[in-house]
Structure 1
Amino acid sequence: MAELTSRIGEGHLTVRPASAAAAQQRRTARLLPLDLHWSTEGIFVSEGYGDAADIPLGSRLLSINGEHGDTLLQELMSLVEHDGRIATGAMRECPGSCYAVLRHRRRGTESAFALIYAPPAGGTVHRTVGAHPMAERPRAPDRERRRAALEWLAPGLAYLEVPSFSNRVYRDAGTTFRDEMRHLFEELQRGRAERLILDLRENGGGSEPNESILFSFLVDTPLRKYRAVDARGQRISVASASGQIFETEVYDEDEIHFQRSAGDGRLTRLNVPPEGLMSHWAPSTPVFSGRLVVLAGGRTFSGAAELASMLHHVGRAVFVGEEVGGAHEGNTSGYSWPLVLPHSGVALGIPLLRFRFDWPGLPAGRGVRPHCDVPPSVDEIGVARDRAWRVARVIALQDWGTPDRAVCPPLASTGSPRTHRATGSTSAPRPGPRSRLFA
């Protein structure tokens, strides 16, 4: 099923095994004994188990059973939800033991694996290792949902991480996303920030229209964001081969009034407040207009990818990192219809709204690409101030006029995570003379 749905190229269309099947695999399966880090630079070993426990971390994996990196990546993308032809989305959503688990689901039990790899010290190693019990592998930790956080790195230079657009994160903290953004941008204004690094690398989206709210604090003029937002109809109904009917309604009784018939039973969103087809209807205050550097990558998805596309379209920022996980032309997302297949127990998450952006630009099925290509390194997994962060800091301190004039430094010149020291304070530094950077 995953191989079928992955061909659609829609990352919001999810497929999950039945809980009983997943539990059975956990108890009985024997897996490829490697955790892997996927990158545009190659496939790297991040941990080894059993027979492979002595493989040096950071070794570049060249082949498994004669299948080389391109073939393995194609298999990964056939089993992981992703937008269009964007490989970085699959790479970031399948770290650690993920590939080993999916490989077992697709291929069944394999007793041994003929590996070719290149250790960091040099040379090439050919060896065969046995499978390792899945029950003895650590479970992947849940992704933490955190609120936005602001840090001052130097006078006039700030770092803002926005790891989620989920309303629940802010509601649980007793606030709203808009109020939180207003507070943070007021702090930037008080500190007379003129350079800002915005980190969206862990932002997989969340609640509409939070991506547009953040955009409104970075760009004064409202933007026609969507060409259209469509639904197949108000009621979606499908029948199984046995005649069982599954159906759902798309809009509630309030939202249906903001739609109009587009023919063939389809509904399309009216371009009227509060959301419509615009990024925003009125400016937010204060609006930061200084130099902006955006950290983005494969986990920058859904609403965060939409924000990246908006900023890219208006030429607002220098992008550092890797290709974002969401396609530039739009997506199918919004509301999700959870559907459990009656016999297998396979659980589908079916997106119900089609969003199409109102701009041309990138090749179909691709996301916003960085001005400075800095994929995550295997030896910096879990390091917040990794080489992409360090490159972003260098770029932020440059005096480029437009994003395409920024100069990407050689990666070796950015140093180790300890090269650049920040204040670690969330209070603003003492400002010197500054130009007007807020509207």
Structure 2
Amino acid sequence: MPYPNYLVKGGPFCEGKIIPGYSLGYFKIREFENNRYILKKFRKLVDEMTEKGYSDLIIDLRENTGGSGNDLNLFFSFFSDKDSLHYLKNAKARVSKITKDYGFDESQYGQVLSLPSEKVFHSFALDSSLFVPNLKVYVLISRTTGSIAASFANICQYNGIGTLVGEQLAPNALKYGEVASGEFLDNPFAFSTIQYDEYTKAKDGIVRPDIPIPYIAREYMKGGDPVLEKLLEYLKDEKLVFFQ
């Protein structure tokens, strides 16, 4: 079975549901692939929330290792009324024949240099027609949230449009870039050709949650989802504090 079909049928890219006991919506994104499909499901959940008068939305990115950044701006358009969001401060590449399209010359081969500013996505535009007023977003993250999923969380925090909850991201979570794929001895492989430098509120290179809820193995041994359960209780009583 093709991998995309497996994700949709066997373990879907995403899962959305209403949690009526807490008057909120929950949307888990397992991988950012087939983003148009995910957006369709996301919009359906937001519409259901709007009909019920719910404003709190949990987006669960735990264990999401990334995927494609296609149409990512449309997700943010639902809960941000800004014209655009800040994304990249800079981007670097090791200059070679492959990077000649960026305007470098042969004398610079082998050096790691910043791309011309006009080649960098410093910000990206939002679609105002998708905006839903009063939507409050909480993004669940873990140490295994990586690549474009880590960027999703970082963009929310830096631009002040979402609250991060859970564990801090791994130290290298934002250390990735443009990926090219190829083949070697009939085996597919991928390698990064550009390193991104995002706008971030990270300290010491680590993105930390606004509401820290640690993963404690012994709590998971009892079954259920203790981190999500604690977030639900926090939203019910914002006086609660969870210590790392």
- Shorter-chain TM-score tier: 0.7 to 0.9
Give the TM-score normalised by the residue count of structure 2. Answer: 0.73
- Check 1:361–1:299 CA distance in 2 against 1; reply closer, same or farther (3 A cut): closer
Using the aligned pairs only, state the percent identity: 17
| Residues 210-229 of structure 1: pairs in structure 2 closer than 5 A | 210-221=71-82, 222-229=84-91
Q: How far off is 1:270 after superposition? A: 6.3
Task: Indicate yes or no: 2:240 matched with 1:407.
Answer: yes
Q: How far off is 1:333 after superposition? A: 2.7
One-letter amino acid of the counterpart of residue 159, structure 1: Y
CA contact (8 A) 2:86 2:124 kept: yes
- Check 1:352–1:289 CA distance in 2 against 1; reply closer, same or farther (3 A cut): farther
Give, in whole Å, the separation in 1 of the partners of 2:222 and 2:76. Answer: 28
Partner of 2:19: 153
Give, in whole Å, the separation in 2 of the partners of 1:148 and 1:269. Answer: 36
Q: From the CA coordinates, give the structure whose radius of gyration is larger.
A: 1
CA contact (8 A) 1:291 1:396 kept: no
Task: Indicate yes or no: 2:54 matched with 1:193.
Answer: yes
RMSD value over aligned CA atoms?
3.7
Higher helix share: 2
Partner of 2:178: 334
Give, in whole Å, the separation in 1 of the partners of 2:116 and 2:125. Answer: 15
Equivalent residue of 1:205, what SS? Answer: coil
Q: How far off is 1:410 after superposition? A: 7.5
- Check 1:370–1:335 CA distance in 2 against 1; reply closer, same or farther (3 A cut): same
Give, in whole Å, the separation in 2 of the partners of 1:394 and 1:151. Answer: 17
Please give the per-residue CA displacement for 1:153-207, whole angstroms capped at 9, x wherever unaligned: 126312111221112xx5xxxx544444333323332232211222111211110
Partner of 1:319: 164
Q: How far off is 1:407 after superposition? A: 3.3
CA contact (8 A) 2:61 2:145 kept: yes
Give the TM-score normalised by the residue count of structure 1. Answer: 0.44
Q: How far off is 1:347 after superposition? A: 8.6
Give, in whole Å, the separation in 1 of the partners of 2:91 and 2:164. Answer: 27
Partner of 1:374: 214
- Check 1:296–1:189 CA distance in 2 against 1; reply closer, same or farther (3 A cut): same
Partner of 1:306: 151
Q: How far off is 1:378 after superposition? A: 4.7
Segments of 5+ residues of structure 2 without an aligned counterpart are 1-6
Task: Indicate yes or no: 2:32 matched with 1:165.
Answer: yes
Q: How far off is 1:284 after superposition? A: 5.0
| Residues 5-404 of structure 1: pairs in structure 2 closer than 5 A | 145-154=11-20, 156-167=23-34, 176-221=37-82, 222-233=84-95, 235-236=97-98, 260-261=102-103, 264=108, 268=115, 276-283=121-128, 285-287=130-132, 289-325=134-170, 327=172, 330-338=174-182, 340=184, 349-359=190-200, 361-364=202-205, 366-369=206-209, 371-378=211-218, 380=220, 383=223, 385-398=224-237
One-letter amino acid of the counterpart of residue 163, structure 1: R
Segments of 5+ residues of structure 1 without an aligned counterpart are 1-141, 237-249, 400-405, 412-439
Q: Runs ≥4 in structure 1, deviation > 6 angstroms?
A: 345-348
- How many residues are matched? 229
Equivalent residue of 2:50, what SS? Answer: helix
Give, in whole Å, the separation in 2 of the partners of 1:282 and 1:152. Answer: 25
Please give the per-residue CA displacement for 1:51-101, whole angstroms capped at 9, x wherever unaligned: xxxxxxxxxxxxxxxxxxxxxxxxxxxxxxxxxxxxxxxxxxxxxxxxxxx
